[in-house]
Homo-oligomer: A and B are copies of this chain.
Amino acid sequence: MIREELSEVPEYVPGKSVEEIKRAYGLKRVVKLASNENPYGASPKVFEVVKNFRDFHVYPPKNPVELKERISEYVNFPEEMIVVGDGLDGVLENVFKMFVSKGDTVAIPIPTFPYYEILAKIYGARIKFLRRNENFETIEFDEKAKLTIICSPNNPTGNVENFEFVREVAESVKGVVFIDEAYAEFTEKRLTKLAEYENVIVGRTFSKAFGLANLRVGYAIMNENFAKEYMKVCPPFPISTLAILAAITALDDIEYVKRTVEKIVTERNRLEKALGKYFEVYPSEANFVYVEAENSDSVCYELERRGVIVRNLKNFRGVRNGIRISVGKPEENDFLLKTLEEIF
């Protein structure tokens, strides 16, 4: 009875939690550098707003006008071009529902965030994997693709895409280009301006720099007509009022976000240098560092049993011996480096 397309979708395998790893290895301290979360957390002002919330029984708005106004100011595109969703994942799924019919081509440069491939399979797309160069910059596209997905800074490799190349893609393809800028705040090299193209959609999130991953607030910039169609396919209540208030408050306290981003970038630079002692390190424009090591599998295991969780990328398509390490607080990064010193 199940749709045959789902036979291609990988089964869900639960990851190990910090608690499970503590128990498994009898550890007191476990540092998780695996999910690219903001280790400094959300602005303390968010706590205040959430603390006083009582309207749990009231439905949230489908169209949170005030939040969209604030995002509009933040990204410098008109409010009519802003849509929100249940995390950037939710936004992207809505984009699939807008454009992708069974058999349509979805073009995905690899390696990249695996969820694109999963969504493409769920929606029965034909997937065209695109090649990258030795710096992981995408170097090809498919003119006939209905949807081309560009992740910049790219998860898990940390590099940004070349602005002129992505512009060429936008001008050449018959379909839509979705630029996933989840990590935009950690770089100066943004592609956001390309949302001026009719066929370009730029997706963003409050999950990374803004420290609101738990509340699932994503948004996108797209042309006004697309934005109207988006509202048709968007679930009735994409984000809670609590999440809306938190996102507005986080935008109000943009200085806090800037400070945490600065700290993360400083630590990223330190980590990039320090990790060079053990790995081949690729320069990052995000809040994580991509490294390669021949024995990546055993390194991940040795780190884990000593209380450091990183992301082993052995199941990522197009990756060989890669590890993705989120940038933590200084003391967390110290713990990582000390543990690596122990292992090597």
**B3 contacts A99, C-beta separation under 8 Å:** yes
Q: A12-B232, A235-B90 are in contact. Are A55 and B214 (CB under 8 A)?
A: yes
CB distance from A267 to the nearest CB of B (A): 16
CB distance from A236 to the nearest CB of B (A): 6
CB distance from A262 to the nearest CB of B (A): 17
Total copies of the chain: 2
Q: CA separation between A61 and B122, bound complex, in Å?
A: 21
Q: Which of A2, A14, A101, A246 has the most CB of B within 10 A?
A: A2
Q: A242 — which chain B residues lie within 8 A by C-beta?
A: 214-215, 242
Q: Give the interface segment out of A39-47, A127-135, A150-158.
A: A39-47
**B240 contacts A214, C-beta separation under 8 Å:** yes
Please report which residues of chain A, range 53-75, place their CB below 8 angstroms from some CB of chain B when the two chains form the complex.
53-63
Q: Say yes or no for A93: interface residue by CB 8 A criterion.
A: yes
Q: Say yes or no for A51: interface residue by CB 8 A criterion.
A: yes
**B42 contacts A46, C-beta separation under 8 Å:** no
Q: Say yes or no for A37: interface residue by CB 8 A criterion.
A: yes
Q: Which of A3, A175, A176 has the most CB of B within 10 A?
A: A3
**B62 contacts A14, C-beta separation under 8 Å:** yes
Q: CA separation between A234 and B2, bound complex, in Å?
A: 14
Q: Say yes or no for A111: interface residue by CB 8 A criterion.
A: no
Q: A176 — which chain B residues lie within 8 A by C-beta?
A: 1
Out of B89, B93, B216, B232, which one reaches A6, CB within 8 Å? B232
Out of B9, B50, B61, B124, which one reaches A53, CB within 8 Å? B50
Q: A50 — which chain B residues lie within 8 A by C-beta?
A: 50-51, 53, 56
CB distance from A169 to the nearest CB of B (A): 15
Q: A54 — which chain B residues lie within 8 A by C-beta?
A: 41, 47
Closest to A235 in B: B89
Q: CA separation between A312 and B333, bound complex, in Å?
A: 59
**A102 contacts B101, C-beta separation under 8 Å:** yes
Q: A236 — which chain B residues lie within 8 A by C-beta?
A: 87, 89, 115
Q: A56 — which chain B residues lie within 8 A by C-beta?
A: 41-42, 46, 50, 211-215, 246
Q: Say yes or no for A339: interface residue by CB 8 A criterion.
A: no
Out of B101, B122, B207, which one reaches A97, CB within 8 Å? B122
Q: Say yes or no for A228: interface residue by CB 8 A criterion.
A: yes
11 sampled A-B residue pairs with Cβ under 8 A: A1-B175, A6-B229, A12-B63, A12-B234, A41-B56, A47-B54, A56-B213, A86-B235, A122-B233, A214-B240, A215-B242
Q: A35-B58, A41-B56, A56-B213 are in contact. List 16 more A-B contacts (CB 8 A).
A: A6-B229, A6-B232, A14-B62, A35-B59, A37-B57, A37-B58, A38-B57, A46-B56, A50-B56, A57-B214, A58-B213, A59-B214, A87-B236, A89-B236, A122-B233, A240-B243
Which are the 8 A-B pairs with shortest beta-carbon distances?
A12-B231, A57-B211, A42-B56, A9-B232, A41-B57, A59-B213, A38-B57, A214-B240
Q: Which residues of A contact B (CB under 8 A)?
A: 1-3, 5-6, 9-12, 14, 17, 35, 37-42, 46-47, 50-51, 53-63, 86-87, 89-90, 93, 97-102, 115, 118, 122, 124, 146, 175-176, 199, 207, 211-216, 226, 228-229, 231-237, 240-243, 246
